Amino acid sequence: MIELPIKPFTRPAAGSVSLPGSKSITNRALILAALSDGPVTLRNALFSDDTLIMLTALKKLGFNISADEKSNEINIVGLNGDIPCGEARLHVGNAGTAARFLTAFICLKDKGNYYLDSDDAMKIRPMEDLLNALVSQGVEVDYEGKNGHFPFKLKTHRLIGGRIEIDASASSQFLSALLMVAPFAFKDTTIETKATRVRKPYVYLTERMMNHWGQSISSDNHYQVTRIKAQVNYHYDKGHYDIEPDTTAASYFIVLPLLTDGEVKVKGFNLDNNLKDSLISQVFLQGDTRFIDVMENANLISYASKGDIIFHPGSSNKGIEQDFNEFSDTFLTLAAISPLLEGKTRITGIGHTRHQETDRISAMAAELRKLGQKVIDDDDSLEIHPNRSSLIEKAQNGVTIETYNDHRIAMSFAILGCANLLGSGKPWLRIKDPYCCAKTFPRFFDVLERLRIDSLQ
Q: Which residues of 429-441 are buried (b: 16+ CB within 10 A; e: fewer)?
A: bbbbbbebbbbbb
Contacts of 122 by beta carbon, 8 Å cutoff, 6+ apart: 92, 93, 94, 95, 96, 99, 150
**C-alpha separations of 316 from 158, 296, 298, 340, 341 in Å:** 55, 10, 7, 12, 9
DSSP reduced 3-state for 116: strand
Q: Which residues of 291-329 are buried (b: 16+ CB within 10 A; e: fewer)?
A: bbebbbebebbebebeeebbbbbbeeeebbebbbbbbbb
Query: CA triplet 446, 452, 457: central angle to 5 degrees?
Result: 125
**C-alpha separations of 386 from 216, 335, 374, 399 in Å:** 47, 10, 7, 16
Residue 329 designated active-site? yes
DSSP reduced 3-state for 246: coil
Contacts of 432 by beta carbon, 8 Å cutoff, 6+ apart: 1, 2, 3, 400, 401, 402, 403
Choose the catalytic residue: 49, 50, 246, 329.
Answer: 329
Query: CA triplet 33, 193, 130: central angle to 5 degrees?
Result: 55
Catalytic residues: 329
